[in-house]
Structure 1
Amino acid sequence: MEEKPIRKIIHVDMDAFYASVEQRDRPELRGKPVAVGGSAERGVVAAASYEARKYGVRSAMPSSIAARRCPELIFVKPDFDKYKAVSQQIRDIFLDYTSRVEPLSLDEAFLDVTTNHKGMTSATLIAQEIRQRIFETTQLRASAGISINKFLAKVASDINKPNGQKTIPPKEVDAFLMQLPIEKFFGVGVKTAEKFHQMNVYRGADLMEVDLMILKSRFGKSGQHYYNIVRGIQHSEVVPNRVRKSVGVEETFSTDLLSEESMLAALYKLGERCEHRLKRAHSKGKTITLKLKNSSFEVQTRSHTLPEVTNDIDVIMETVVALLQQSVPADPIRLLGITVSNFDVEEREVQLTLEF
């Protein structure tokens, strides 16, 4: 059997981050169900406070459904500049312990503390210290998971939420994986879980009994991943300064866009935001993608690849306009998005090194 690589990995996940920041800064919201993003009529919930989660309100849920589940729900407009500033405070704390920090988003990150700046031997104590420092600095709570690889650390961080942590030491890995529900395995969504259930696979112990060839025949390349992960084998390292693969912006509108003129006006505002993000990230891309969602929630994407990379708004918008005018939607449009991808990776990696 392939040997498990033993590393000390911490996954830190802020508790209801956006909503907690708003409750911290606005005392009138404390103890109340809060949704960041959207409105009672439309949009999508970006984050929900724990008071809102008791009603079944979750991130990525349509706001209209959230409002029905919790009539007292308070919708708050997101302030991403503020969230980014708080996220940077938290990241600075991480970097006091290790340079091997891989942010997944503003509110979560992996840390490899196998060796660390403090010379501490206990990853559990490091996680406790980091969570305490985060609270002292930001007055926000964080949860953490600690184990031998990224997958297990991420699963563990969710076990004692909110404001808790869980360590899965090497000697407990096998027993933990055997009882883990298949839905908790990384890469297993609703449809994949249904396929596993059809094979009578409900927990890790069931997955352990499935032959590798059967997994590959049913799940393709992911079969090897499932075979390894249930055995505690994951070679994925914590990667600082991960190369960004795309930059995009999108917006759900309070009222549907009915004309080409209104769509173009909205797209130009999105284009300016996209250009700003590209330049801040020192990125240029070749492929421009236009996303459209109509009032029936049908999504359409149109893409065009340019001969050279760019982050110039004039070039981006010329392409976006052409993509829209290929066939101007007849149905009302509720969401528009612009994404730039297909970056020059070699150039991007050099710039990341210089920026770091």
Structure 2
Amino acid sequence: MERDFKMTAITMAGLEEVLADELRKLGAQNVKEGIRNVSFKGDKGFMYKANIALRTAIRVLKPIKTSKVFDEEDLYEAIQRIKWERYLDVEGTFAIGAVVNSKNFTTNSHYISLKSKDAIADYFMHKYKKRPNVDLKYPDVKIHIHIHKEWLTISLDSSGDSLHKRGYRSATNIAPINEVLAAGLVMLSGYKGDENFIDPMCGSGTILIEAAMIANNIPANINRKHFAFENWKDYDEDLYFVIQDALLKKITSSHFKIMGFDKAPSAIKKAQQNIINANLEEFIGVHHVNFFNSKKEVFGKTTILFNPPYGERLNINVEEFYRKIGDTLKHNYENSTAWLITSDIQALKYVGLRTSKRVPLKNADLDCRFVKYELYEGSKKMKKQIDIGE
């Protein structure tokens, strides 16, 4: 039986707790939250499972060496001490990515990548009189170098391309939301598929697709064509398909409505194409509707979650736009919970509704807030009276 080993899942700032919860529910051991990462233990099969199923991970790394380093020479020697033929053939290809956060290293990450590449190439040249080639696009092995203060961690990247590249999105609008962030927003909202869901400014449909996959327990990366671990020397194809089949058997079927609106016909067409790519057309409906002219037409509790334009995407009157969001929610969407993300923190005051929760997040380099509004039938005071039986 294969022993468990340590892994690290990389995520976005603010989603660490969500990712840790995902990992525990999948069966990971020793789950520990870090900054933009969560470490855990599992076996080879769990590594496959994590890549296929995790919604809020950007990549899954398998550390193969940690050591203290104080300069480039220490880095070079630490890399040279690894038996690289265990992971990479001399006829194979590799690529290196680096993240450096240390006052001992004044050079940039690109230089550290080049220094690490030289160390690996020299290792093979010394031992086999030949060196593997670098292939930045489709390497056989992708290596991740992380230096934090004086600690070096050398890892194999089991994912390859970022896990936000689910494989369903062929059409996008301006500044589409990252799939990992979209899934994180849905999970932070508490939505599990047990009520209706509306994205009233759906764009190319990413939030809707992630919500539908969550509602029906569909693995996040089931549409993805390739993972880096499939190139590894110890790749077990039979085990991979056993893991994949077990995840597919857990898919459920939610009967609640998942709907998207957008005022742009071009956005609706793109959303429809992406939904078809994700094989979710039976679960999601998208409609050419201006949210500000809409009203809730579904019965029962509803989660409303959207990513309204902000920053460079917004070329209109901010005060008027956000005030209309608040008015539409207040008057037309009673008995709902509304969530929205924005980097325009000041614009939130124009919504005119009290937030019941504010979550700090990052969208690329933008500092954002993910805020919650509880929309009751009648006034909040009336809701309290009903709750206490007055």
* TM-score normalized with structure 1 length: 0.26
* TM-score normalized with structure 2 length: 0.24
Q: Which has the higher helix share?
A: 1
